[in-house]
Amino acid sequence: MSIQRVTIQSDYTLEGILKENRKDAGVVICHPHSLYGGSMFNNVVDAMEQGFSTKGFTTLKFNFRGVGNSGGFFDEGNGEVNDLRAALKYLKQTINTNSYILLAGYSFGAWIASKAALVEEDIHGLFLVAYPFAFYDATHLQKFNKTMYLIGGTYDDIGPVHNLMEFYKAIQIKDKYLKIIPTTHFYNGKEDEIVTFIKETVALPS
């Protein structure tokens, strides 16, 4: 496995970290809210990166516009979707054509991933941790018909577990997976459970 800092060209220049692994599987990982200290250097982002790396995925995490050394300013989610799409394009140039690709995100990053998933037709699934139901609607995801992995916390007031359960029951897809962890929105000390969930549920097509 090789690890390298990379530069991604969106509307602004973004910084990212690419961990190259298998050439037939990749995931782009999105961090939590930019205005509340969110960045690619986050415990949940790191847990997802570790879990997917263990499964053989090439992983790409990056800083949205206005975060760290990424240029630009926070854009209420609109520009951030562009940033994710630019990161996805970068990933596709790194791995094989027709690879198995997932979009992953935590909190605000989960919302961004969910929005991008509806306009990027060649991704194969979503991996969403602590979707922020208290702030962002999720009805657009009723249109998503591919694999979905969901993680929620029992004491999460930003992604209330009852909203997560209602959403999980309502989505009409065959391949859906749910993990409820006894934690708040921040998953401190629960990172290993995220890694284990990825190891146990995420599978590449044979």
Whether the pLDDT of residue 205 is over 90: the answer is: no
What CATH code is assigned to 2-201? 3.40.50.1820
Q: What is the mean pLDDT of residues 62-84?
A: 98
Per residue in 19-37, pLDDT (tens digit) is 999 999 999 999 999 999 9
Question: Tokens representing 6?
Answer: 């990379």
Q: What is the mean pLDDT of residues 150-165?
A: 98
pTM of the entire predicted model? 0.98
CB under 8 Å to 168, separation ≥6 — which residues?
150, 176, 178
d(CA 20, CA 113): 21
Per-domain residue ranges of the chain: 2-201
Say if CB 112 and CB 132 are below 8 A apart.
Answer: no
**pLDDT band for position 15 (50/70/90)?**
very high
d(CA 32, CA 107): 5
pLDDT at 206: 66
Whether the pLDDT of residue 97 is over 80: the answer is: yes
